[in-house]
Structure 1
Amino acid sequence: MKKFQVVGIGNAMVDVLTQETEAFLTEAGIEKGIMQLIDMDRAVDLYSRIGAAKEISGGSAANTIAGIAHLGGRTAYVGKVKDDQLGAIFAHDLRAQGAVYETKLAPKDAAQETGRCIVVVTPDGERSMNTYLGVTEFLEPSDIDVDMMADAEWIYLEGYRFDGPESHAAFAKAINACKGHGGKVSITLSDPFCVERHRDAFRMMIREDVDLLFCNRAEMLSMYQTEDFDAALAMAAKEVSIVACTDSDNGAHIMSGGQRWHAPAVPTQIVDATGAGDLFAGAFLWGLTNGHDLETCGRMGCVAASEVISHIGARAESDLKALFAQHGLI
């Protein structure tokens, strides 16, 4: 048995969550519903404008790994923070969930700080993310522990990290170590604008290395440059063994081996949509590495996504295993 069921690689940052009005978005010049990269000055400006905020360790793939750890999975994470206050918060929170986190810290005198994402949640539950990447942008091959990757059943790669200058090489090093020892590769596309920036690199990696593709409807349509959702799913299924595509309140669509399953969404009052896709992936991977069939994995993902959108923050607050049991999944 390998030491880790899933090792995640991606951004390491702290989420600053605030609930604001639609008018606030306009006044602050924030485009609704997407992730925008910002610099340190913009991060400081936005922080001065927002009201009461909740600071929680985040990062898309880190949320996924935290979800698996919450379920009792054997997990580890690779993502770069600075030796500063927010860096310490990030490391503590992830380890407290039960995940292994050993990435070397950027030194105190590094020019950039630990990344943070100012997440503005409007009354409809939609989140608009303003991301200062900080040192997490500079994840590099030397941060990849090949022994850890070799001892993983799966690695989980975060699409957002494609924006880093050396992250592609870091991913390649992780993929080679993992697949060279019988492991498998999953990736999340993260954001349709991220897909637009790196479509060719994504497509090459998906065709050559990826075993499981996570995305949502918008990312899927962007990747395959079509407005025909079923056609996009079919194209993806020709390139990768398993496709898991979320579709908001329509649930999720799973494709593998010429078969397609639909996992219905679990009705809930949406408080904050942050982390829905992250926790879907976490529950799906936990189910997969614990021997559940793909349809059940999809349903677990939808249950976990429903839990996380029912409150502020992208980490589970209820016992996910208990929720799975309530839905007859375990």
Structure 2
Amino acid sequence: MAKYDIYGIGNALVDLLFEVDEQFLADNNIEKGLMTLVEEDRQKELISKIDVKEEMMKGGGSAANSIVAASQFGAACYYSCKVANDQFGHFYLKDLKENGVDTKLTEETTPTGHTGRCLVMTTPDAERTMNTFLGITSDFSVNEIDEDAIKDSKYIYSEGYLVPSPSGREAMIKGKEIAEANGVKVAMSFSDPSMVKFFKNEMIEVVGSGVDLLFCNEEEAMLYTDTETVWEAREELKKIAKKFAITLGKNGAMIFDGETFVDIEPYEVEAIDTNGAGDMFAGAFLFAINHGHSYAEAGKIASLASSKVVSQFGARLEWTQAKDILNHLV
């Protein structure tokens, strides 16, 4: 029996969460609604214009958010990432431990450098804009892969944000190869439309002959498949994913369970911050299918979890919130 339900591969970023107005984005020439990679000096420039408080600092990274979510719901999880031996790195490792996620990193084994940080700016319409300084996570490579932990897992899960990095892409491919050779199922997320739009060939390289489970939103699905509607896209996705989930924002989600499509109804809430909605959906869904739930049931759990996370600031729930969701639906 596998020790871990999910083995995650992804960036390690400390999220710095701010509320801003439209004028702030315009004044600072920030493209709204996208994740943009920036140099450290640029990020420091933006941060200097905002009053930073300690409570704004949260553990982050797309796949990490999913893995933490899965762990909070009750999955056994492992995360491979790269942080530096600095204040943010120590915070990050402590955060993983507190959320019940195993990793091979310790404060003693972390290298010198700067831990990655993501400036998450949320506007009054609940849309989030991210400026990310990757720091040492830009050097994430096969050296961070734990082959034994992958072999002892049911699923390996990776994020599309690693695709632009040659070493990160190599790590994703290596992890996928180890998983496939040992009967471990492969799941991944496209993560962001910009990853598909600007790094499509690299994404195709990572997808390779296909994956067992894919997570994406409708824009990513259409960009990857060169289609104009989500209905066309979902047919094309069958060629590269045995099963998949397409999130549709306020319209819920569309699940393909390998045989049929299942429409997942949304839970109506007042959205405050959409940051992490897709990550939460993937994490809750992965927990559910690893704990005896059907794809339809997993979709409902994931949809409710996502509705909860967008109704508050930050990409994660508290442990008690996760338990309340399960008690409500299961």
- What is the match of residue 111 of structure 2? 107
- What is the match of residue 211 of structure 1? 212
**CA positional deviation for 1:238:** 2.7
Q: Matched residues in 2 for 1:79 and 1:35: separation?
A: 19
**CA positional deviation for 1:208:** 1.2
Instruction: Give the AA of the match of 2:40.
Output: M
Question: CA contact under 8 A between 1:35 and 1:130: conserved in structure 2?
Answer: yes
Q: Matched residues in 1 for 2:40 and 2:125: separation?
A: 28
- What is the match of residue 274 of structure 1? 275
TM-score by length of 1: 0.95
Q: Matched residues in 2 for 1:7 and 1:257: separation?
A: 22
**CA positional deviation for 1:296:** 0.8
SS at match of 1:130: strand
SS at match of 1:177: helix
Q: Which moved more, 1:95-104 or 1:79-88?
A: 95-104
1:165-193 per-residue CA deviation (whole Å, 9 max, x = no partner) reads 21122112211222211110001001111
**CA positional deviation for 1:209:** 4.0
C-alpha root-mean-square deviation of aligned residues, in Å? 1.4
**CA positional deviation for 1:266:** 1.0
Question: CA contact under 8 A between 1:14 and 1:116: conserved in structure 2?
Answer: yes
Question: CA contact under 8 A between 2:169 and 2:206: conserved in structure 1?
Answer: no
- What is the match of residue 139 of structure 2? 138
SS at match of 1:305: helix
Correspondence 1:285 to 2:289:
no
Q: Matched residues in 1 for 2:38 and 2:143: separation?
A: 26
Question: CA contact under 8 A between 2:83 and 2:111: conserved in structure 1?
Answer: no
TM-score by length of 2: 0.95
Q: Matched residues in 2 for 1:171 and 1:236: separation?
A: 20
Question: CA contact under 8 A between 1:17 and 1:118: conserved in structure 2?
Answer: yes
1:219-249 per-residue CA deviation (whole Å, 9 max, x = no partner) reads 1111112221100011002321111010100
Q: Which moved more, 1:86-95 or 1:205-214?
A: 205-214
Instruction: Give the AA of the match of 1:162.
Output: V
Instruction: Give the AA of the match of 2:322.
Output: L
- What is the match of residue 67 of structure 1? 69
**CA positional deviation for 1:164:** 1.6
1:71-90 superposed matches below 5 A: 71-90=73-92
Question: CA contact under 8 A between 2:255 and 2:296: conserved in structure 1?
Answer: yes
Question: CA contact under 8 A between 2:267 and 2:307: conserved in structure 1?
Answer: yes
- What is the match of residue 302 of structure 1? 303
Q: Matched residues in 2 for 1:9 and 1:280: separation?
A: 17
Number of paired residues? 325
Question: CA contact under 8 A between 1:147 and 1:177: conserved in structure 2?
Answer: no
**CA positional deviation for 1:256:** 3.0
Question: CA contact under 8 A between 2:185 and 2:212: conserved in structure 1?
Answer: yes
Q: Matched residues in 2 for 1:206 and 1:176: separation?
A: 11
Gaps of 5+ in 2: none
Q: Matched residues in 1 for 2:158 and 2:290: separation?
A: 16
1:12-34 per-residue CA deviation (whole Å, 9 max, x = no partner) reads 01000000111111011111111
Gaps of 5+ in 1: none
